[in-house]
Amino acid sequence: MRVLLVGEYNKAQLNIKKGLELLGHEAIVVGTTDGFKKVDVDIDLKDYFNSFLIRKFRILLYKLFKIDLFAISIKKQIKAKRKQLSNYDIVQLVNEAPFSFDRKSHHQIFNWLKEWNNCPFYLLSCGLDYPSVSYAFDKKFRYSILTPYFENKGSKKDFSPALSYLTSHHLKLHTHIFNKIEGVIANDLDYHIPLIDHPKYLGMIPHAIDLSKLIYKAPKIEDKIIIFHGINTYNYYKKGNDIFEDALAIISQKHSDKVEIIVVKNLPYKDYIKSFDKAHILLDQVYAYDQGFNALEAMAKGKVVFTGAEQEWEDYYNVEKDTIVINALLDAEAIALKLEWLIENPEKLIDISKKAREFVETHHDHINCAKQYLKKWSYTK
Q: Give the CATH number, domain containing residue 275.
A: 3.40.50.2000
Same domain for 70 and 139? yes
**When comparing pLDDT for 341 and 47, which is higher?**
341
Same domain for 223 and 313? yes
Report pLDDT for 298: 95
Same domain for 357 and 228? yes
Same domain for 187 and 233? no
Determine contact, residues 162/238, Cβ cutoff 8 Å: yes
Is the model's pLDDT at 27 over the cut of 60?
Answer: yes
110/128 Cα distance (integer angstroms): 18
286/243 Cα distance (integer angstroms): 8
**Identity of the amino acid at 136:** A
Same domain for 250 and 108? no
Report pLDDT for 160: 93
Q: Which domain holds residue 358?
A: 212-363
Same domain for 57 and 151? yes
Same domain for 153 and 294? no
Task: pLDDT band for 281, please (50, 70, 90 cuts).
Answer: very high
Q: What is the mean pLDDT of the chain?
A: 94
CB contact set of 302 (below 8 Å; sequence gap of 6+): 216, 217, 218, 219, 353, 354, 356, 357
Is the model's pLDDT at 142 over the cut of 90?
Answer: yes
Same domain for 24 and 109? yes
Report pLDDT for 328: 98
Same domain for 187 and 272? no
Task: State the sign of the Cα–Cα–Cα–Cα dihedral 35, 377, 293, 164.
Answer: positive
Determine contact, residues 282/298, Cβ cutoff 8 Å: yes
Least confident window among 193-202, 227-236, 262-271, 283-292: 262-271
Same domain for 129 and 276? no
Same domain for 90 and 235? no
Is the model's pLDDT at 204 over the cut of 80?
Answer: yes
**Distance, C-alpha 283 to centroid of its chain:** 15
Task: pLDDT band for 39, please (50, 70, 90 cuts).
Answer: low
Least confident window among 151-165, 277-291, 304-318: 151-165
Q: How many domains does the chain have?
A: 2
Same domain for 70 and 100? yes
Mean pLDDT, to the nearest integer, of 364-368? 98
Report pLDDT for 79: 97
